[in-house]
Amino acid sequence: MSADTVVRPRRNTLRPVWEEQPSLLGQLGKGTILTLVVAVVVVPLWVVVVTSLSSEKTINSAGGYVFLPREFNPSAYVVIFSGGQITDAILVSTIVTLAGTALSLVVTVLAAYGLSRPGTLGHRPILFYFLLTFLIYPGMIPSYLVVTGLGLKDNLLSLILPTAISAFNLVVLRAFFMSIPGELYDSARMDGAGELRVLTRIVLPLSKAVTAVVGLFYAVGYWNAFFNAILYIDRNDLQPVQRVLQQFILAGQSPASSGAAVAIPGLGSTVPPSLAIKMAVVVVTIVPALIIYPFVQRHFTKGVIIGAVKG
Amino acid sequence: MSAPPVAEPQSTAVRAKKKVKAVSRQQLSFGQRLRRDWPLLLMCFPAMALLLVFHYLPALGNIIAFQDYNPFVGDDPLEAFLYSEWIGFGNFEYLFKTQAFWDSVTTTLSITAFQLVFYFPIPIALAVLLNSIMSPRIRSLVQSIVYLPHFFSWVLVVSLFQMMLGGAGLLAQTLRQAGHTPPEIMTNPDTFMFLITSEAIWKDAGWGMIVFLAALAAIDPSLYEAAAADGAGRWRRMWHITLPGLRSVIVLLLILRLGDALNVGFEQFVLQREMVGREAAEVVDTYVYYQGIAVQQWGVGAAAGLFKAAVGILLIVGANKLAHRFGEQGIYSKR
């Protein structure tokens, strides 16, 4: 029997030929599990968003959280963005995240590039210096003493500087820089380019994806900063969003009592229900991650695996 | 020399070039190397300085564990450090005699053990399940959704749990409307272990899949085909090919987890300590915080932190030895 007499059935599946037909029960089981897993993540977020956009009437008739969207009522967002503690917190977190991520990225990229060529002066001891941070932890109390000793209490730098460098991110970036063919460096240097020029003109354009992932990791870290704020920030107008979230949701403080629910221009005197305001705060803490996430998501595996293999 | 003759000239050329390079590097003096490499050194400097001040200096500062540290004997922490009295192992003696400290150690270890059993296998199972889904579209959809909570802060995760399962949460609201009394979930110390593990799973189990998915993708598909041709069914293929393919990653992560046995997270517990009470939620890290910063027994807190770090290093070295004994690579290889 020769191969060309065999009529191949048209297959509409990616399943390899040798694999047996999936059983109906198995497929159903897998489908159910995956749907459940996805629902467990999505449903809470859905409820939060819908409730944050609901009016007092809807919330009262639902008895609290709203599941089915019936209206689009952004008054809760108007309130939290129209001054008061929540607006301050959003501003503080935005500043810390932008400034912190910029600083972290610049410093980390520079160091990763400086370490990307084995054999240069001091390469091994400097690398060791960075890797040692994985093994030696600073400890909470001495850190507190150092930061307060530097006079950074109630200073936004206290939310940035102590967490500015992650040796893990540095190792990830360095591993990627090292994988760039050396000929590219050599040719650029032949043309008289200095190190900084090589870095900005050749290395960075080639490693946009990894740099983006590292940037996301840093940004998420700054946006989520919570405990350093407990330690170092006492002033109310310098608290980041995570602190506000904790005060409203977990400590049960009412947003109305915090000076947020001032008279809203254009919306009459109707103060939106405090549940909606709470939910709007939750949404605001989630949204930045949601915005950047899709752009870098496809590069995660690369970044994480490089770090795991070469670290 | 078994290399094909065509490749021969090129490879010798490369080797020759390498040799020249190596020789010339050796001949450079320190000054010449410094002149060549100073820009690179300068680039490393800002990161090194930041780590020196905010990582190594506080790490060094752990020696206040051997002091009766009193911040009020000087104008700043450094001066206070210089003037504080050295008391040797006094803080450790006090610590080891304190029941609350041992309670926190016990709680931490039981959380680690509990999560090793009920949390650790979940990313593996999820990854194997997702890997068996053929459609790339469904796969990437599920991945992007379950990775997401990893980027949420603990405040947000605990808040979401509170809003869903808490006393005024969605579940309680639904149950009340149906005429039932809602159970206490967020404030019950007896079920706290389940609660924190569920939170950890919700936040990080999806993200934990990444490593396993990569390991699964690295398994040679022809192994599966050969096994199928030999008559191995779906489960046998999973047992004899998939799981061995994941073995070294699993061992690696187990070692890391064991080394972190006293590290079960901090913010998650600080946030919920008030709700369920100290007895269920006091882990070593929260003990350090409350002893050191809240009660201002700085030396005792630092001693507890140092104890934790020392045990962590011992555990990781021990676990790695164990891995070598089982023929795995571990996190660092044998010398």
Domains by residue range for chain A, with CATH? 25-73 (no CATH), 76-310 (1.10.3720.10)
Distance CA B49, CA B57 (A): 10
Which residues 94-123 of A have a C-beta within 8 angstroms of B?
Answer: 106-108, 110-111, 113-115, 117, 119-122
Beta bridge partners of residue A40, listed in sequence order: none
Of the candidates A209, A235, A218, A230, the one whose C-alpha atom is nearest the C-alpha of residue A298 is A209
| Residue B112 scores a pLDDT above 90 | yes
**Position B101: which residue type?**
F
| Residue A120 scores a pLDDT above 60 | yes
Of the candidates A73, A41, A47, A42, the one whose C-alpha atom is nearest the C-alpha of residue A62 is A47
Which range, of A63-77, A138-152, A182-196, A266-280, averages the lowest pLDDT? A266-280
Distance CA A96, CA B166 (A): 31
Residues of B within 8 A of A308 (CB-CB) are 211
Q: Could you say which of 1.10.3720.10, 1.10.10.60, 3.40.50.150, 1.10.1740.10 is the CATH number of the domain covering B90-325?
A: 1.10.3720.10
Q: What is the pLDDT of residues B49-58, one digit of tens each?
A: 999 999 999 9
Q: Which residue of B has its CA nearest to A34?
A: B142
Output the six-digit token pair for B251. 């061992």
The residue-averaged pLDDT of B63-91 equals 84
Which of residues B69 and A306 earns the better pLDDT score?
A: B69
Contact B211 A304 (CB under 8 A): yes
Of the candidates A19, A40, A45, A79, the one whose C-alpha atom is nearest the C-alpha of residue A273 is A79
Which of residues A139 and A132 earns the better pLDDT score?
A: A132
pLDDT given at position A294: 76
Cβ–Cβ < 8 Å for A200, A193: no
Cβ–Cβ < 8 Å for A217, A169: yes
Cross-chain CB nearest to B156 (options A18, A231, A285): A285
Label each residue of chain B as H, E or C. Answer: CCCCHHHHHHHHHHHHHHHHHHHHHHHCCHHHHHHHHHHHHHHHHHHHHHHHHHHHHHHHHHHHHHEECCHHHCCCHHHHHHHCEECCCHHHHHHHHCHHHHHHHHHHHHHHHHHHHHCCHHHHHHHHHHHCCCCHHHHHHHHHHHHHHHHCCHHHHHHHHHHHHCCCCHHHHHHHHCCCCCCCCCCCHHHHHHHHHHHHHHHHHHHHHHHHHHHHHCCCHHHHHHHHHCCCCHHHHHHHHHHHHHHHHHHHHHHHHHHCCCCCCCHHHHHHHHHHCHHHHCCHHHHHHHHHHHCCCHHHHHHHHHHHHHHHHHHHHHHHHHHHHCCCCCCCCCC
Which residues 213-272 of A have a C-beta within 8 angstroms of B?
Answer: 220, 223-224, 226-227, 230-231, 242-243, 245-246, 249-250
| Residue B212 scores a pLDDT above 60 | yes
Cβ–Cβ < 8 Å for B62, B305: yes
Contact A164 B60 (CB under 8 A): no
Distance from CA of B196 to the nearest CA of A (A): 15
φ, ψ of residue B62 to 5 degrees: the values are -60, -15
CA B136 vs CA A293, B131, B133: distances in Å: 19, 10, 8
- In the DSSP assignment, the letter for residue A267 is S
pLDDT given at position A1: 47
Q: At what angle do helices B121-131 and A24-52 cross, to 10 degrees?
A: 110
CA A35 vs CA A32, A43, B130: distances in Å: 5, 11, 12
Q: According to the per-residue pLDDT averaged within each range, which of A53-57, A159-163, B59-63 is highest?
A: A159-163
Residues of B within 8 A of A136 (CB-CB) are 55-56, 59, 309
Which range, of A14-18, B82-86, B290-294, averages the lowest pLDDT? A14-18
Q: Which residues make Cβ contacts (< 8 Å) with residue B29, sequence separation at least 6?
A: none
Of the candidates A251, A282, A296, A300, the one whose C-alpha atom is nearest the C-alpha of residue A65 is A282
Test mutation, B30, B48, B54, B211, chain A, max A CBs within 10 A: B54
**Chain B contact for A39, CB < 8 A?**
no
% of chain A residues with pLDDT over 90: 35
**Chain A contact for B10, CB < 8 A?**
no
**Residue A103: pLDDT band with limits 50, 70, 90:** very high
The residue-averaged pLDDT of B278-285 equals 89
Contact B58 A289 (CB under 8 A): no
Test mutation, A41, A106, A145, chain B, max B CBs within 10 A: A145
Distance from CA of A130 to the nearest CA of B (A): 8
pLDDT given at position B332: 64
Distance CA A116, CA B171 (A): 53
pLDDT given at position A4: 57
Cα dihedral value B152, B156, B158, B163, nearest 10: -130
Residues of B within 8 A of A226 (CB-CB) are 153-155, 267
CA A24 vs CA A9, A18, A21, A29, A30: distances in Å: 21, 18, 9, 9, 10
CA B167 vs CA A250, B188, B328: distances in Å: 11, 11, 48
Place of tokens 């039932």: B180
Residues of B within 8 A of A129 (CB-CB) are 48, 51
pLDDT given at position A183: 82
pLDDT given at position B74: 78
Q: What's the helix, strand, coil split of chain A in %, to 5? A: 70, 0, 30
**Residue B113: pLDDT band with limits 50, 70, 90:** very high
Q: Which residue of B has its CA nearest to A216?
A: B151
Q: Which residues make Cβ contacts (< 8 Å) with residue B313, sequence separation at least 6?
A: A135, B259
Domain ranges of chain B: 5-65, 90-325
pLDDT given at position B75: 78
Q: Which residue of A has its CA nearest to B332?
A: A311
Of the candidates A102, A62, A92, A54, the one whose C-alpha atom is nearest the C-alpha of residue A283 is A54
Beta bridge partners of residue B86, listed in sequence order: B67
Cβ–Cβ < 8 Å for A177, A116: yes
Distance CA A162, CA A152 (A): 11
Output the six-digit token pair for B91. 């803080």
**Chain B contact for A131, CB < 8 A?**
no
Which residues 59-118 of B have a C-beta within 8 angstroms of A?
Answer: 59-62, 64, 71, 76-78, 81
Distance CA A151, CA A146 (A): 9
Distance CA B150, CA A47 (A): 19
Cross-chain CB nearest to B41 (options A107, A114, A282): A114
Place of tokens 């900005």: A200
Give the three-class secondary structure for A139. Answer: coil
Residues of B within 8 A of A107 (CB-CB) are 46-47, 50
Distance CA A151, CA B311 (A): 33
The ipTM value here is: 0.84
| Residue A75 scores a pLDDT above 60 | yes
Which residues 251-270 of B have a C-beta within 8 angstroms of A?
Answer: 266-267, 270
| Residue B13 scores a pLDDT above 60 | no
Residues of A within 8 A of B289 (CB-CB) are 140
Output the six-digit token pair for A293. 């996430």
Q: What is the pLDDT of residues A217-232, one digit of tens each?
A: 899 999 999 989 999 9
Distance CA A22, CA B312 (A): 46
* CA angle (B235, B238, B241) in 5-degree steps: 135
Which range, of A141-155, A178-192, B178-192, B235-249, averages the lowest pLDDT? A178-192
Helix (H) or strand (E) holding A104: helix A85-114
Residues of B within 8 A of A161 (CB-CB) are 50, 53-54
* CA angle (A6, A11, A17) in 5-degree steps: 75
The residue-averaged pLDDT of B78-101 equals 88
pLDDT given at position A301: 61
Distance from CA of A184 to the nearest CA of B (A): 16
Other beta carbons within 10 angstroms of residue A129's beta carbon come to 18
Residue burial A47-85, b: 16+ Cβ < 10 Å; e: rest: bbbbbbbbbbebbeebebbbeeeeeebebbbebbebebb
Distance CA A94, CA A222 (A): 9
**Chain A contact for B123, CB < 8 A?**
no
Q: Which residue of B has its CA nearest to A158?
A: B54
| Residue A115 scores a pLDDT above 90 | yes
φ, ψ of residue B86 to 5 degrees: the values are -85, 130
Distance from CA of A266 to the nearest CA of B (A): 30
Cross-chain CB nearest to B51 (options A14, A165, A199): A165
